[in-house]
Every structure is written in structure tokens, then in C-alpha cells.
């Protein structure tokens, strides 16, 4: 249940703040790209286009945590 609340809060933040959403999208895109080094850029862009919604949904809490950590380091 706590995980669901954390994810819901993160998704709400991403949906209400364009700056955070853009940062989180780039973070998750780079992370996903690093996990697929064998894919060409073209193959990855096609993959990202179709899987971005589910990746953004599943990675919302992780991306928000990384965003907050980034703020602490700066």
C-alpha cells in the first residue's frame, strides 16, 4: 500500500509540474537506453515511443527520488 501511495504522489507531481516531468522523462529514457546497449539509436527510439507510458508510470517514484536527490547534491 505504501508503494502505491508513493507512486501515486510521484505521478501526480509529474503530471502537475512540466519541469519535473521533463527531467524525469529524460532520466528514465537515459536509464532505459543504458539497459539496451545493443539497440541502434533508431531501434531504441521506436522502442521508447511505444513503451514510454508504461516506463514513466512504473518509474515515477524512482525518478522523483532521483530528482530530489539531485536537488540535495546541488
Report residue 69 as a C-alpha cell.
Answer: 536527490
Is there a contact between 15 and 64 (Cβ–Cβ < 8 Å)? no
Pick the closest to residue 71 from 23, 4, 14 (CA basis).
23
Which tens digits make up the pLDDT trace of 41-54? 999 999 999 999 99
What pLDDT does residue 2 have? 52
Containing structural domain, residue 66: 2-73
Taking residues 45-74, what's their average pLDDT? 89
Q: Is 24 exposed, middle or buried (0-12, 13-18, 19+ CB in 10 A)?
A: buried
Question: Which of the pair, 28 or 8, is modelled with greater confidence?
Answer: 28
What pLDDT, on a 0 to 100 scale, did the predictor assign at position 6? 63
Q: Domain count for the chain, please give it.
A: 1
Range list of H helices, 1-74:
2-16, 18-34, 41-73
Amino acid at each position: 500500500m505504501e508503494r502505491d501511495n508513493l507512486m501515486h504522489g510521484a505521478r501526480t507531481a509529474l503530471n502537475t509540474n512540466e519541469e519535473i516531468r521533463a527531467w524525469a522523462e529524460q532520466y528514465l529514457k537515459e536509464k532505459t537506453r543504458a539497459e539496451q546497449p545493443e539497440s541502434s539509436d533508431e531501434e531504441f527510439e521506436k522502442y521508447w515511443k511505444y513503451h514510454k507510458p508504461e516506463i514513466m508510470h512504473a518509474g515515477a517514484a524512482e525518478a522523483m527520488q532521483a530528482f530530489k536527490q539531485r536537488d540535495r547534491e546541488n
